[in-house]
Structure 1
Amino acid sequence: MIKVAVVGTNGLAQYIVHNLATQTSHQFVILSRRPSPGLVARGWQVLQVDYSNQGDLQFKLAGVDTVISTISGNAQLALVDAAAAAHVRRFVPSEFAGPPSLRPHNDILDDGRRAAILRLHQLEGSGMQFTIFTCGVLYERFAPGGMAASQIGLRSNIGQEGDYLMDFRRRRAQIPYLSSTGQAATICMTSAQDVARFVVAALDLPSWPREFRLRGERMSVRDVVAVAEGISGRQFEISGHTRSSLQDALTYARAVGDRGREIRVHHLMATAEGRYDFVSTNLDQLVTIRPEKFRDWLVRVWIST
């Protein structure tokens, strides 16, 4: 039995805590900037923290074996420093997307993640290891209400329904047909609930690599839309993008000062570049989790709407 600190109160953090509470005997605490009476009412211990106060952070992390972060930016950097000072053994940074190795150096979608990984590398000498959980695109991007309905990606500009790739309700899709190498653009996807199950199951493994890769499905973006068309029984209005048309869309978004549109185009470009794709996994084979298939998930979340 170990002590785990789950940092943040978004939907993914809550899924992780739920699995810790129901599937393990591990002790856990939730670190939050603000009071969270709803989480406390569920019997979970919530510690309010000040990320500008290293002493407070280190005190709250005393005795913690593993930190699982779902926050970003300067707050996560402060958390990394405090975890190392508190002699935390393992740190899971807030990644939960495509392989970090595929991100360009000046990635506009970075949100401080590169800086956190660099800091983790620098602090390895203190004895704190870190592992990234790579899961591809979250299914919740295609949910009623988008990821925001699960309190995920609220600041991402792709958090709302229809912001990424396809709008199931309006039967529309914007997809890059070909990747930068001329192949069909392919993505890996996993539900947030399954990501949480994988993370918690991994806690019992004897050793962790630098990166755990897991997924529910791997398919071309056209097949993603085809699944949705099959469920809805109607063809979608599809706008197929080339690399050139995506660049034109980006230029327009910048010209009119539409930052949200610019970020959404960047996500389509990242998709075309294969940044949410990976061929092999290494965590699926080590745990008994059987992730939900995309079609089953899509039917389940839309059936009552």
Structure 2
Amino acid sequence: MPPMRIAIAGTCGLAQYIANLLATQSYHTFIVLSRNTNPTMAARGWQIIQVTYTNASDLRYTLAGVDTVISTINGDAQLALIDAAAAVHVRRFVPSEFEGSPAVRPIHDVFDYGRRAALSRLQHYESRGMGFTVFTCGIFYERFGPGGMRASQIGLRSAIGGEGEYMMDIRNCKAKIPYYNSAGQPVHVCMMSARDVARFVVAALDLSSWPRELRMKGERMTVSEIVSIGEVLRGRDFERANYTKESLQDDLTVAQALRDDIREQRTQHLIVTADGRYDFGSFNLNSMVNVIPQTFQDWLGQAWSS
């Protein structure tokens, strides 16, 4: 593939991983779209372009000549980015997904954050020549690291972005997991580190064509196995609270009655986990690129080694 010009929208931890890989391990040029000047990222030698997502003409000007847009932003800002990209004939667009497959999400998704509208807009522009691909990876390992995802500048506004706020609290040796789904089967999730997700995305840039969805496999395991790895790391059994789909619904009802928004959101995250939001059984990207992802056990050991 000839060198391409890539635009990365957003400055979160995943965006920075992608930018660093493009800068150090690819021949593609790139720009980073940021709402502010971001001198820290600019100090790395990266081209940071300050944008206002409500200024359509400014966005179109910025994206002129870009081959591929990789978005890590949501909501109206992403919709404006999609419109601008289509207007200047960007060839490929990567929406801000990077979790489970959109196919398994419910129509009325409590954690939509504008994703359905973005995919609908992209489908509209696909017939006009702008392709799009969703990168499906499951849960980020970073949820279980020191400081949680926020320590990697991911999920800064999420109710489960902090350390120990989703399923497993390694520091305090506790776990609250959706042990069984509604069919009475163990709940599985797919997982990968944000750094490895970035490696897959950058490697995929050199593929001649992209399907609608590129699924990557890091780990697929039961939530109980995740906790077991945490227990091995700490050398002790965790205080476990094992929930079924039904008991999680009861917990949600209590949270709503108490008007405890944080508890409600965290319980809803466990419910969608039980519903298979982060589980997918087939993978197509691993065989297309030369990327070997790190295992969860190795990643967790390194993350907590200090």
The TM-score with structure 1 as length reference comes to: 0.98
Q: Contact 1:109–1:263 (CA<8 Å) still a contact in 2? A: no
Once the two structures are superposed, residues 144-179 of structure 1 have per-residue CA deviations (whole angstroms, 9 ceiling, x without a partner) of 000000000011211000111100100000011111
Paired with 2:21 and 2:54, the residues of 1 have a C-alpha distance of 30
Please state whether the residue corresponding to 2:272 is helix, strand or coil.
helix
How far residue 258 of structure 1 moved from its aligned partner, in angstroms, is 2.1
Q: Which residue of 1 aligns with 2:263?
A: 261
Paired with 2:142 and 2:217, the residues of 1 have a C-alpha distance of 14
The answer on 1:230 being equivalent to 2:232 is yes
Paired with 1:55 and 1:260, the residues of 2 have a C-alpha distance of 39
The TM-score with structure 2 as length reference comes to: 0.98
Q: Contact 2:182–2:246 (CA<8 Å) still a contact in 1? A: no
How far residue 39 of structure 1 moved from its aligned partner, in angstroms, is 0.5
Q: Contact 2:35–2:50 (CA<8 Å) still a contact in 1? A: yes
Paired with 2:171 and 2:214, the residues of 1 have a C-alpha distance of 34
* Residue correspondence of structure 1 range 226-305 to structure 2 within 5 A: 226-304=228-306
1:214 to 206, 216, 230: 216
The sequence identity of aligned pairs, in percent, is: 60
How far residue 260 of structure 1 moved from its aligned partner, in angstroms, is 2.0
Once the two structures are superposed, residues 15-36 of structure 1 have per-residue CA deviations (whole angstroms, 9 ceiling, x without a partner) of 0000101110101000011110
Paired with 2:105 and 2:5, the residues of 1 have a C-alpha distance of 32
* Residue correspondence of structure 1 range 32-181 to structure 2 within 5 A: 32-181=34-183
Paired with 1:40 and 1:233, the residues of 2 have a C-alpha distance of 43
Please state whether the residue corresponding to 1:264 is helix, strand or coil.
helix
How far residue 99 of structure 1 moved from its aligned partner, in angstroms, is 0.6
Once the two structures are superposed, residues 39-81 of structure 1 have per-residue CA deviations (whole angstroms, 9 ceiling, x without a partner) of 1100000000010010000001010000000000110011111
Q: Contact 2:5–2:30 (CA<8 Å) still a contact in 1? A: yes
How far residue 252 of structure 1 moved from its aligned partner, in angstroms, is 1.7
Which sections of structure 2, spanning at least 5 residues, go unmatched? Answer: none
Paired with 1:243 and 1:201, the residues of 2 have a C-alpha distance of 38
How far residue 218 of structure 1 moved from its aligned partner, in angstroms, is 0.4
Once the two structures are superposed, residues 112-149 of structure 1 have per-residue CA deviations (whole angstroms, 9 ceiling, x without a partner) of 10110011011112210000000000000001000000
1:199 to 193, 198, 201: 201
Q: Which amino acid aligns with 2:5?
A: K
Q: Which amino acid aligns with 1:210?
A: R
Please state whether the residue corresponding to 1:184 is helix, strand or coil.
coil
1:22 to 10, 18, 24: 24
Q: Which amino acid aligns with 1:42?
A: R
Q: Contact 2:143–2:163 (CA<8 Å) still a contact in 1? A: yes
Which sections of structure 1, spanning at least 5 residues, go unmatched? Answer: none
Q: Which residue of 1 aligns with 2:185?
A: 183
Q: Which amino acid aligns with 2:300?
A: L
